[in-house]
Amino acid sequence: MAPECFCGCGRRVRFSRRTQNSSGLKVESELEWWEAYREAVDQTGAELPDTVLDFLSDGLWLHDNLAALVHDEDQIDAGFENRKVTRWLKFSQTSRRKIRSDLASRH
Protein backbone atom coordinates (compact mmCIF):
# COMPACT_ATOMS: atom_id res chain seq x y z
CA MET A 1 0.00 0.00 0.00
CA ALA A 2 1.27 3.46 -0.85
CA PRO A 3 2.43 5.53 2.12
CA GLU A 4 0.38 8.51 3.25
CA CYS A 5 1.39 12.09 2.63
CA PHE A 6 3.77 13.46 5.27
CA CYS A 7 1.59 16.51 5.92
CA GLY A 8 -1.09 14.43 7.60
CA CYS A 9 -3.79 15.02 4.98
CA GLY A 10 -4.21 11.27 4.52
CA ARG A 11 -3.65 11.30 0.75
CA ARG A 12 -1.77 8.38 -0.76
CA VAL A 13 1.62 9.20 -2.22
CA ARG A 14 2.27 8.36 -5.86
CA PHE A 15 5.40 6.33 -6.49
CA SER A 16 7.07 9.18 -8.37
CA ARG A 17 6.57 11.47 -5.35
CA ARG A 18 8.02 9.23 -2.68
CA THR A 19 11.35 11.02 -2.57
CA GLN A 20 9.63 14.34 -1.92
CA ASN A 21 7.43 12.71 0.66
CA SER A 22 10.37 11.34 2.61
CA SER A 23 12.12 14.74 2.39
CA GLY A 24 8.92 16.28 3.71
CA LEU A 25 8.92 13.91 6.67
CA LYS A 26 12.49 14.87 7.50
CA VAL A 27 11.79 18.60 7.22
CA GLU A 28 8.73 18.17 9.41
CA SER A 29 10.61 16.36 12.15
CA GLU A 30 13.37 19.00 12.09
CA LEU A 31 10.76 21.76 12.35
CA GLU A 32 9.18 20.03 15.34
CA TRP A 33 12.52 20.01 17.13
CA TRP A 34 13.03 23.72 16.37
CA GLU A 35 9.52 24.57 17.52
CA ALA A 36 10.22 22.89 20.89
CA TYR A 37 13.56 24.68 21.08
CA ARG A 38 11.90 28.00 20.32
CA GLU A 39 9.41 27.45 23.15
CA ALA A 40 12.19 26.51 25.54
CA VAL A 41 14.11 29.67 24.63
CA ASP A 42 10.93 31.78 24.96
CA GLN A 43 10.43 30.48 28.49
CA THR A 44 13.81 31.76 29.53
CA GLY A 45 12.70 35.22 28.35
CA ALA A 46 15.27 35.21 25.56
CA GLU A 47 14.58 35.45 21.86
CA LEU A 48 15.95 33.50 18.95
CA PRO A 49 18.23 35.52 16.66
CA ASP A 50 16.79 36.67 13.33
CA THR A 51 19.08 34.27 11.48
CA VAL A 52 17.39 31.36 13.22
CA LEU A 53 13.90 32.76 12.59
CA ASP A 54 14.77 33.21 8.90
CA PHE A 55 16.05 29.67 8.80
CA LEU A 56 12.78 28.42 10.33
CA SER A 57 10.65 30.34 7.85
CA ASP A 58 12.73 28.86 5.00
CA GLY A 59 11.99 25.44 6.46
CA LEU A 60 8.25 26.14 6.51
CA TRP A 61 8.43 27.34 2.94
CA LEU A 62 10.21 24.14 1.86
CA HIS A 63 7.69 22.10 3.83
CA ASP A 64 4.75 23.77 2.05
CA ASN A 65 6.30 23.34 -1.38
CA LEU A 66 7.06 19.68 -0.72
CA ALA A 67 3.45 19.16 0.36
CA ALA A 68 2.23 20.87 -2.82
CA LEU A 69 4.49 18.57 -4.87
CA VAL A 70 3.22 15.45 -3.14
CA HIS A 71 -0.36 16.69 -3.67
CA ASP A 72 0.39 17.30 -7.36
CA GLU A 73 -0.67 20.90 -7.05
CA ASP A 74 0.50 23.47 -9.56
CA GLN A 75 1.46 26.19 -7.09
CA ILE A 76 5.12 25.36 -6.62
CA ASP A 77 7.20 28.49 -6.03
CA ALA A 78 9.59 29.21 -8.86
CA GLY A 79 12.60 29.27 -6.52
CA PHE A 80 11.95 25.82 -5.13
CA GLU A 81 14.71 23.27 -5.73
CA ASN A 82 15.34 19.87 -4.23
CA ARG A 83 18.90 20.82 -3.42
CA LYS A 84 17.60 23.62 -1.20
CA VAL A 85 15.87 20.93 0.84
CA THR A 86 19.10 18.94 1.09
CA ARG A 87 21.04 22.01 2.14
CA TRP A 88 18.41 23.07 4.69
CA LEU A 89 18.28 19.59 6.26
CA LYS A 90 22.03 19.42 6.52
CA PHE A 91 22.23 22.86 8.13
CA SER A 92 19.41 22.00 10.52
CA GLN A 93 21.04 18.78 11.67
CA THR A 94 24.44 20.38 12.14
CA SER A 95 22.95 23.29 14.13
CA ARG A 96 20.95 20.99 16.35
CA ARG A 97 24.00 18.95 17.14
CA LYS A 98 25.90 22.10 18.00
CA ILE A 99 23.12 23.44 20.26
CA ARG A 100 22.88 20.10 22.05
CA SER A 101 26.60 19.92 22.72
CA ASP A 102 26.59 23.55 23.92
CA LEU A 103 23.79 22.71 26.35
CA ALA A 104 25.57 19.57 27.51
CA SER A 105 28.81 21.41 28.18
CA ARG A 106 27.00 23.85 30.47
CA HIS A 107 26.07 21.12 32.97
Instruction: Tell me which residues touch Zn ion (CB under 5 A).
Output: 5, 7, 9
Q: Which is nearer to Zn ion, 71 or 84 (CB)?
A: 71
Q: Which is nearer to Zn ion, 12 or 87 (CB)?
A: 12
Helix (H, G, I), strand (E, B) or coil at 67: helix
Q: Quick check: 35 and 87 in contact, CB under 8 A?
A: no
Q: Which is nearer to Zn ion, 13 or 56 (CB)?
A: 13
Helix (H) or strand (E) segment spanning residue 23: helix 18-43
Least distance in angstroms from the C-beta of 70 to Zn ion:
6
Least distance in angstroms from the C-beta of 20 to Zn ion:
11
Least distance in angstroms from the C-beta of 62 to Zn ion:
14
CA distance 101 to 10: 37
Paired strand residues for 12? 4
